[in-house]
Amino acid sequence: MPDLAFELVDEKSVDDIPAPARPHARCQTCDYWERIDGGREAPAADATDAGARAGLKLRRLLAGRAVSGSYGMLAYRTDAVERTAIGYAQFGPLSAYPRAQSIRDRYPELPESPAPWVITCLQVTPDPQAPDERARIGIGLLEAVCGELDGRGITAVEAYPEAAPDPWAPSPGPTSAYEAAGFEHLAGDDRYPVYRRELTGKTDVGAWSELLRASRPDDEDDDWPLPLPPKRDPDDLFRLPPEKPKRPNPFGDD
């Protein structure tokens, strides 16, 4: 049986993202979730803005990489002959996806804390020779994403799938995959449900060390981020409380 591997999207692999189930859509230029008025359709063959749209999409996917990691994950099938991308998931903080926020705002009963990250897209290429594999790969991809988010310290993740004759046609994928991956139906009806999974949010020391190294300013010395300078400096006012005024010494200063 071919092996499955899950990897975060980067500049080299973004073109590996497979075509989604929705006809005429293209993940590499889609801004449906990033904009309230965004679209899924691929640019026309003669479109002059195709390159700009693809570049913007890549920047959005890699926006969090310097701090914790990119916002996309690929599923690869590997055998003795080739390695093929067969699945894709897009995720990120709620603030990165205004459409997800607008959906969530419809359900005031959803918990405000902890603030969730969201999985906006789950797509798996069908295999006519193994129709049951699509669901298995989708569940595995969801588990891999949740494991990745756990390692980033995220404590909850939500998804907003839609009921449709073809459950893979909506970009979030089928509700059955989320249920099998441990998500709970918290709000909405069968047509527009909200699924949520609580995570541990536990990050190992090594991951935090990598996070600090990635976010370290270029002009700091080896003591960054601690200790603080022994003497007060104007640049430290944002992190040190103001000094209290000294009372006069009635016996005079030495």
In Å, how far are 1, 152, 165, 246 from 11, measured between CA atoms? 29, 21, 34, 57
What mean pLDDT is predicted for residues 129-156? 94
Task: Specify the pLDDT at position 14.
Answer: 97
Task: Specify the pLDDT at position 42.
Answer: 79
DSSP bridge partners of 187: 194
With a cut of 70, say whether residue 233 has pLDDT above it. no
Give me the residue label for tokens 């067969």: 86
* Structure confidence at residue 43 as a pLDDT band (50, 70, 90): confident
* Structure confidence at residue 142 as a pLDDT band (50, 70, 90): very high
Bond prior to 161 in cis (omega within 30° of 0):
no
pLDDT digits (tens, 9 = 90+) for 59-86: 999 999 988 899 999 999 988 788 999 9
What is the pLDDT of the chain when averaged over all its residues?
84
Task: Specify the pLDDT at position 240.
Answer: 44
Pair of tokens at residue 92: 């990120």
Residues in the chain: 254
| DSSP SS3 for 230 | coil
What strand order describes the sheet that includes 184-187? 3-8, 72-78, 83-93, 117-124, 156-159, 194-198, 184-187
Closest by alpha carbon to 27, among 104, 118, 130, 38?
38
Q: Give me the architecture of the 3-205 domain, per CATH.
A: 3-Layer(aba) Sandwich (3.40)
What mean pLDDT is predicted for residues 19-46? 87
Element (H, E) at 134: helix 133-151
With a cut of 70, say whether residue 148 has pLDDT above it. yes
Task: Specify the pLDDT at position 40.
Answer: 82
Report the share of the chain in percent with pLDDT over 90. 59
pLDDT digits (tens, 9 = 90+) for 175-187: 999 999 999 999 9
Task: Specify the pLDDT at position 210.
Answer: 56
Closest by alpha carbon to 126, among 165, 90, 164, 87?
87
pTM value is 0.78
Task: Specify the pLDDT at position 224.
Answer: 41
